[in-house]
Structure 1
Amino acid sequence: MLIAVATFNEIDNLPLLVAEIMSAVPDADILVVDDDSPDGTGEWCQQFSVEQPRFRSLHRSRGAGLGTAIVAAMKYGIERNYDLFVNLDADFSHTPKKIVDLLAATHSTDADIIVGSRYIAGGGVEGWPLHRRIMSRGINLYTRLLMRLPVYDCSGSFRCYRVATLRQLDFDSIVSKGYSFFEEILWRLRRQGATFQEVPYVYVERERGYSKINWREAVRALYLIARLGLGSFFTRRS
């Protein structure tokens, strides 16, 4: 199993996060994809990889995008024949101890993708103001309707994918380079026949560092979701 974390300026979180991941799932390998963080994140990764053989890192140019970072990690997992690929954020919004819940679902179901969900019974969000909760709910409803996705949490990144399913994906067809990657990959996997299972988790707002998402990225995401979802609808109609 490979656990992937994309980073940019996460030196305050990453060492603590990696320690918790290794405690929660000691048999897993960890891959960090860092986009030239100026705060020393990349340097820490290089040093720690010398000390810990189950830890590896990829270093890319700044501004390449979150979506392309996850694609790079997925390709790394495919090339090295891992069986499972887990993705989580670097800021502790996804508690490492909950990784075992994703893994348990891979044994209790045949689903190809296990989706950590804030929006089923047992899930939730901590630390968000009301307007952000409403916005997130609205975006997920918008995505479910336009992309016809069979999950309630389409925008979260806390997931476990079977690598055999990822191996069938045409990564060159992926359009999004940013946060909308997480909606797009579910849409593309569903179109190739993948199955999904949601497990609940509680999202916790970061305590250290700052969020990288902005309004421009959010608008791009809304446009891409509509473009892909409506495009496939009219293709079916024609």
Structure 2
Amino acid sequence: MKKALAVCLALFLLAGCSGTGRSSSQESSASAGSQGEILSREEPREELPSMDERQQEYAEKYLSPLAYSGFFWREYTGDPAQLGKKLDEEGNVVGSDLLFMLFEDSFTQEEREELYAQYPDGIYPQEAVEEPLISHFGWTAEQIRSQLSESYDPQAGTYRYLGGRGGGPVYYVVTGSSAQGDILTLDYEVYGLGGGEDLEDYLLNIQAQLTIQVDGEDFVYQANHIQWERPDPTARDN
């Protein structure tokens, strides 16, 4: 497989992932390739766009915890109900809610391994699940319990992992950023594999904008707005 610049390829449960990006701001209908040429959104590319040091830091800190939950594909303005549930064709819940994945992915790989070792049965105290979600999304415990109602046991005060994780690699890049007061706005792109005979080329799946409220090392995700999405993304697994 072709090498990409500063790419982290990780699987769902055991890996954290940092993004790769480019320093120029995104175009409305096309984006710049690694050699500076303008590429159509639909056109496969051999390499991911590059990214400067600050964008790498932003991708690692703010995009990495979201990459494998399916959050990138959701319009979000602060309500956890916007993130939806995993349902089958008959409308039955078939896997853990996206919020549960955001909880797990708020930890580093080492921290997740410790978490799984501490709770091998997949049953977690409510405080363990709720604290990182309250911290990074500003939700209340009541909102989390309502959204995770299939997982939550109010009598025991625990959440149970229902399964449903899986999927292939996700590649993401920060393409631009701006800060106004305590609000940081990130433009980013999400890629999957496809387009080539051996599926070694990258296809742009999403262009989006993430808004974050930052207070020192603390931060709260405020909004996610999808600006363009491939009609039939080949690398989407969430």
Higher Cα radius of gyration: 2
Structure richer in strand, relative to its length = 2
TM value normalised by structure 1: 0.28
Q: Which has the higher helix share?
A: 1
